[in-house]
Amino acid sequence: MSTSMPSPAVAESPFAYPDAVLSVRDLWVEYRAYRGMVQAVRGVSFDLRKGESLALIGESGSGKTTLSLALIRLLTRSALVRRGTMTYRRRDGKEISVLSLSPDELRRFRWKECAMVFQSALNSLNPVLKVWDQMYDTIKVHEPMSKQEARERALERLRLVQLDAERVLNSYPHELSGGMRQRVLLAMALLLNPQILLLDEPTTALDILTQRSIIDLLRRLKETLGFSTIFISHDLSLAAELADRVATIYAGQVVEIGEVRATFYRPCHPYTLGLMRAVPSLTASDSEMTSIPGSPPDLIDLPPGCKFQPRCGYATEQCTASQPELYAVGPHHGAACFNWQVLSREHEDAGKP
């Protein structure tokens, strides 16, 4: 079933859902550097449904970190949200615009509605405070309750992440291993039952076996607590493990977005395809593997046309001249490539599922 013509322009369907808990539309973020303005996020749109995991996959220079900070409004002062909207739907159905929240409202938004676990988990905890102090501080600021209640909540969360609750609560961060600290951060993020959990490179610094236990934990937590997750990573295999939908980010844009199996088995953007082929894995045959030539574009001085074109094996003349929209290449599957059909046909010919 292949359509012979790409659906008309920015079809809403590749990324829009009616029951979204977070809707990002046309987000543009740039920040000032000495040489000029860095266009870190350029027109990103996606929806996050209730209870689903969305993986944002990108490498260094893709703008993914800026995007994750923008989602929770933790950008530095030199950063500017030039355009776009972020609409969040609370549990009671009320919709709020995240970008126009006042500092007070923002504080209530953060951690209660949307919590974040940062990349350098090992350094996110204050080394001079015990775990209990940090958890209590978090609770105190966002949802005042009695100390007793707070303690109960903290213990319960620590048990949820499979830690020896009493012992960990009274420990200092340096007394815990890397994997345990990561679990503590997860527990802290879940303290106030947020609807959305934002994870930035959750398993990067961890060993294989520890990483495995964190991945399994995340899967289990999602099943039991039902929160939505956005995780940002360069690691495709993480997306394969945990994501319901995957979006690949390149030069500040979403170049492909779709359900996980569609994106992995029938990628319609050359960058996604290139990534799949470039990562050394246990199952891939060595001869199939090949790097993506070239390097990411300079976000200050972007070339016209498609930003991936200089490195693309499928590029045609059209690609240097103009920028492709996100075309609907399948149900809820979008790719920003003029030549997506070529890739789609290749998959069909290869008899992919």
**Tokens 């789609």 sit at which residue?**
344
Choose, by CB under 8 A, the member of 128, 282, 350, 351 that binds another protein.
282
Say whether residue 261 binds another protein (CB under 8 A): yes
Applying CB under 8 A, does 102 fall inside the site for another protein?
A: no
Note whether 274 binds another protein by CB under 8 A. Answer: yes
Q: Which of 226, 293, 303, 331 binds another protein (CB under 8 A)?
A: 293
Residues 311 and 321: their CA atoms lie apart, in Å, by 15
- Sheet of 114-117, strands arranged across: 114-117, 196-200, 228-233, 53-57, 245-250, 253-259, 333-335, 327-330
* 149 binds another protein, rule: CB under 8 A: no
The nearer residue to another protein, 135 or 214, going by C-beta atoms, is 214
Determine contact, residues 84/273, Cβ cutoff 8 Å. Answer: no
Q: Which of residues 161-180 bind another protein (CB under 8 A)?
A: 177
Q: Is 223 in the site for another protein (CB under 8 A)?
A: no
Structure tokens at 27: 């987000």
Residue type, 173: P
62-to-36, 43, 85, 117, 290 alpha-carbon distances in Å: 17, 13, 20, 20, 20
Cβ atoms 21, 48 nearer than 8 A: yes
Minimum Å distance from CB 81 to another protein?
Answer: 21
- Residues 134, 187 contacting (CB under 8 angstroms): no
Residue 277: CB minimum distance to another protein, A = 8
| Nearest distance from C-beta of residue 165 to another protein, angstroms | 15
Among 12, 137, 143, 235, binds another protein (CB under 8 A): 235
351 touches another protein (CB under 8 A): no
Q: Is 313 in the site for another protein (CB under 8 A)?
A: no
Please report whether residue 33 would count as binding another protein according to CB under 8 A.
yes
- Identify the residue whose tokens are 């809403």: 12
Check binding of 26 to another protein (CB under 8 A).
Answer: no
Sign (positive/negative) of CA torsion 74, 75, 77, 83?
A: negative
Q: Which of 60, 97, 126, 316 binds another protein (CB under 8 A)?
A: 60
Q: Which residues bind another protein (CB under 8 A)?
A: 33-35, 59-60, 177, 207-213, 215-216, 234-241, 260-261, 264, 274-276, 278-284, 286, 289-293, 295-296
